[in-house]
Amino acid sequence: MTTSSVMFVNEGIFGVSDDAQVPMETVRWSNGLAAPMDHGAWVLTGINTGLVNVTAQCFDAAPPIEATDWEEIVEVSVQSIAGDLRINSGYSITPDDLPLLNPQGPGWYRMRVHASGRSINPDGVSDEPVEDYLIAIWPQEPAESVVIRSSKMIDEALLANADATPQETAAHSTPEPHDTAERDRRADVRARLLRSLQDD
């Protein structure tokens, strides 16, 4: 099954998680695109705030790798403990049309994250989607994260994490811009996007 939607993101991330509490303190920023936690994972976007295109696919087993048109591809293992694994923005405006990713219930899954466009407007604000993501998931026991197609952003993240301590890789935050006008602009765009999405 393949389903697509436009989704709002904030602070440069969206989630793949279930109803269980997100264990932020266990996040591992291992490859710069997908950050697995004890259960679920975050996907790192290029933009800080705005809209992105997301497509979701569920499989019974690992599908062939289709690298055409994708700038970055990584694979990580994710665990569902509540049996309701979904793509979400962390807000109540998460798209309803994206499917349940684990119809087999709680357990371990393999997630292949494809991305394009993350370098177009890094850490910026976009009220039109300029980034595309494909999230493919299938049941599989946990395994090491793998970078299938790298990029400058992934290479830099891997290099930074190679020199980081375990405490430094256990948490991540997107720094707020020092420019007051830029902070105000982001806040205005966030509010406008939230209003428009809630009105739909």
Assign residue 92 the CATH number of its domain.
2.60.34.30
pLDDT at 112: 97
For 98, the domain range is: 2-199
Contact assessment for residue 51 and residue 162, using Cβ atoms and an 8 Å cutoff: no
Q: What is the pLDDT of residues 143-200, one digit of tens each?
A: 999 999 999 889 888 887 775 543 333 333 333 344 555 555 555 555 555 555 555 5
Total of domains in the chain: 1
Rounded Cα distance, 32 and 151, in Å? 10
Q: What is the pLDDT of residues 41-100, one digit of tens each?
A: 999 999 999 999 999 999 999 999 987 889 999 999 999 998 888 888 865 556 667 888
Phi-psi group of 106: left, alpha or beta (phi > 0 → left; psi -120 to 50 → alpha; rest → beta): beta
Q: What is the pLDDT of residues 12-37, one digit of tens each?
A: 999 898 865 666 677 766 689 999 98
pTM (2 decimals)?
0.79
